[in-house]
């Protein structure tokens, strides 16, 4: 496949409701989409960085910069036989996994279309449907949270994840657990605690949580091993696993019992599959994390989640929970039993709404095998 054209564009999209985590509140998303043409077929990918470096170190603007000045110039005009060759071509550029992932994933979509197979088949996934949970932002009071949890359970979601931070943790979890004694329940701290908080985090043990996600520092594996030895709740790592070596290290150190795989955070489908494989070899369950994506990122998440190690419900939920209108057709829909049917048509399996995307675009840049075109 020859990479003939790459278009990078920034879209403004407003979440229906603000999403609060331990690091802040998000509502106005600045989403980057990549369209990549290879041998006449065009594939799509999404860069899942947030607007500010509050989750990891990447942002919308760092991704724009790194793709514009490094990734696109290296890839344009290149001949590759499969998308799995991309990481090696970009390995010289340190970090910036989300920027790399957006471009690599677009090539995966193009390759699947060229081969006439659904993306999940190319990824060697086999599930026909995936199981969904939801991630709920921090609320004013435990009572507000309980109301929200009930609503999501009534929609069919099979696992509820609560965002927590110091001062908004134990009482909130206690209220939800009291009301719903049997549900699959987890919490996500996004690095809001320190190892010295272990006695406090131990209080969560009584609520039979499926896991506590990334309680400690975003880039630190070892202290999670120390914490895991002090609490019963299984630790799930998110932020600090950006490749398969990290997964191997975390497993060897017993720093976690579960891993959340985010396509962007680990650098794209090739790396995600490696993380998945390491976890599977060691009997560590994985699930698909979310980054408040548009439909493009969501479609990639669905394809990834078909791989056999994804045995826990992911944070991949319906388009309409996030957006008044999504960029794909049909939108991502969740059944009454909390599942998403995996599309069986070639590539991502959703139609990309070009006109709608065009209307939301505030800047774009295109590289072709011979020249670069800039437009406002």
Strand partners, 160: 134, 185
Q: Which of 20, 152, 213, 293 binds Mg ion (CB under 5 A)?
A: 213
Looking at the Cβ atoms of 90 and 192, the one nearer to ligand OSB is 192
226 belongs to the catalytic site: no
135 binds ligand OSB (CB under 6 A): yes
- Residue 315 in tokens: 């944070």
Q: Which of 100, 165, 168, 262 is catalytic?
A: 262
Q: Count of H helices and E strands in the chain?
A: 14, 16
Looking at the Cβ atoms of 6 and 263, the one nearer to Mg ion is 263
293 binds Mg ion (CB under 5 A): no
115 belongs to the catalytic site: no
135 binds, among ligand OSB, Mg ion, none (CB under 5 to 8 A by kind): ligand OSB
Q: Which of 10, 20, 97, 238 binds Mg ion (CB under 5 A)?
A: 238
291 binds ligand OSB (CB under 6 A): yes
Q: Which of residues 176-195 bind Mg ion (CB under 5 A)?
A: 188
313 binds ligand OSB (CB under 6 A): no
Pick from 123, 124, 171, 180: nearest CA to 148: 180
Stretch that binds ligand OSB, among 87-95, 195-203, 287-295, 333-341 (CB under 6 A): 287-295
Q: Which of 163, 165, 168, 196 is catalytic?
A: 163
Q: Which of residues 110-139 bind Mg ion (CB under 5 A)?
A: none
Residues 6+ away with beta carbon under 8 Å from 62: 49, 53, 96, 99
Pick from 334, 252, 249, 230: nearest CA to 290: 334
Stretch that binds Mg ion, among 28-36, 211-219, 221-229, 362-370 (CB under 5 A): 211-219
287 binds ligand OSB (CB under 6 A): no
Looking at the Cβ atoms of 7 and 59, the one nearer to ligand OSB is 59
Residue 229: DSSP 8-state: T
Looking at the Cβ atoms of 211 and 292, the one nearer to ligand OSB is 292
291 binds, among ligand OSB, Mg ion, none (CB under 5 to 8 A by kind): ligand OSB
Pick from 29, 77, 19, 71: nearest CA to 51: 29
- Cα 64 from Cα 61, distance rounded (Å): 5
What's the per-residue H, E or C state across 267-308?
CCHHHHHHHHHHHHHCCCCEEECCCCCCHHHHHHHHHHCCCC
Place of tokens 């549900």: 183
306 binds ligand OSB (CB under 6 A): no
Site residues for ligand OSB per CB under 6 A: 55, 135, 188, 190, 238, 289-292, 315
Site residues for Mg ion per CB under 5 A: 188, 213, 238
């Amino acid at each position: 496949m020859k990479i003939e054209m790459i278009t990078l564009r920034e879209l403004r999209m407003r979440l229906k409701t603000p999403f609060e985590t331990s690091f802040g509140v998000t509502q106005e998303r600045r989403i980057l989409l990549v369209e990549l043409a290879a041998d006449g077929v065009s594939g799509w990918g999404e860069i899942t960085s947030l607007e500010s470096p509050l989750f990891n170190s990447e942002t919308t603007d760092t991704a724009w910069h790194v793709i514009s000045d490094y990734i696109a110039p290296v890839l344009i005009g290149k001949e590759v036989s499969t998308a799995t060759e991309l990481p090696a071509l970009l390995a010289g550029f340190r970090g910036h996994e989300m920027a790399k992932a957006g471009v690599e994933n677009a090539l995966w979509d193009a390759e699947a279309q060229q081969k006439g197979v659904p993306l999940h088949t190319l990824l060697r996934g086999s599930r026909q449907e995936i199981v969904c949970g939801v991630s709920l932002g921090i609320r004013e009071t435990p009572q507000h949270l309980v109301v929200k949890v009930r609503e999501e359970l009534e929609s069919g979601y099979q696992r509820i994840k609560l965002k927590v931070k110091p001062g908004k943790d134990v009482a909130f979890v206690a209220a939800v657990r009291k009301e719903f004694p049997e549900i699959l329940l987890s919490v996500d701290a996004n690095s809001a605690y320190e190892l010295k908080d272990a006695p406090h985090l131990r209080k969560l043990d009584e609520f039979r949580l499926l896991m506590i996600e990334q309680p400690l520092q975003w880039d630190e594996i070892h202290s999670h091993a120390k914490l895991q030895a002090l609490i019963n709740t299984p630790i799930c790592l998110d932020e600090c696993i950006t490749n398969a070596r990290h997964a191997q290290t975390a497993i060897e150190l017993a720093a976690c019992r579960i891993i959340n795989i985010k396509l962007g955070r680990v650098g794209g489908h090739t790396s995600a599959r490696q993380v998945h494989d390491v976890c599977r070899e060691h009997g560590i369950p994985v699930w698909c994390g979310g980054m408040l994506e548009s439909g493009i990122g969501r479609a990639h998440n669905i394809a990834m989640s078909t791989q056999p190690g994804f045995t826990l419900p992911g944070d991949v939920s319906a388009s309409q929970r996030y957006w008044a209108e999504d960029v794909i057709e049909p939108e991502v829909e969740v059944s009454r039993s909390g599942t998403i049917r995996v599309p069986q048509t070639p590539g991502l399996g959703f139609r990309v709404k070009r006109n709608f995307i065009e209307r939301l675009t505030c800047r774009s840049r295109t590289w072709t095998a011979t020249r670069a075109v800039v437009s406002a």
